[in-house]
Amino acid sequence: MENGEGVQEIVDFRPLILVAEDDDSNFKLIKAIIGKKCDILWARNGEEIVNLYHENKGKAHAILMDIKMPIMTGLEATKIIREEDTEIPIIMQTAYAFSADKENAMRCGASEVLVKPITLSILRNCLSKYFPQLKW
């Protein structure tokens, strides 16, 4: 794109992040942390995130996945998505810091596992690994 003086404008990279989170306040926190730099679509359970993934296949850049959700857990949803896509980063979130939870998540195909409460620095640092072009 050029402005009137022939100088090329730099368009900021805005990755599309799919967020699976059944708790409104947790979703609002995630949106507050990354919403200025990322486009976000929200699913409230595992079934919705699988559908959102299918609707945005090839457009979504990463998935933030809560492990414990109604209807379908984040672990089940991750297994389904991984059957089709081994590349997309799936960053799982859990309220439980037990090593077994992290091991289960990694076995299901998680790229990373973050322990709640999610903080600004933890989430931004994690996403920066996958999207170094993001300038927080």
**Which pLDDT tens digit goes with each residue over 60-105?**
999 999 999 999 999 999 999 999 999 999 999 998 778 888 899 9
Residue 5 has pLDDT above 70, yes or no: no
The structure tokens 């091991």 sit at 103
Find, among 88, 108, 104, 107, the residue nearest to 96 by Cα.
Answer: 104
Continuous segment of H or E residues that includes residue 112: strand 112-115
Confidence at 136, pLDDT banded by 50, 70, 90: confident
Confidence at 2, pLDDT banded by 50, 70, 90: very low
**Which pLDDT tens digit goes with each residue over 112-126?**
999 988 999 999 999
**Which pLDDT tens digit goes with each residue over 52-61?**
999 999 999 9
Continuous segment of H or E residues that includes residue 66: strand 60-66
Q: Does domain 16-128 have CATH number 3.10.105.10?
A: no
22 contacts 66 by C-beta, under 8 angstroms: yes
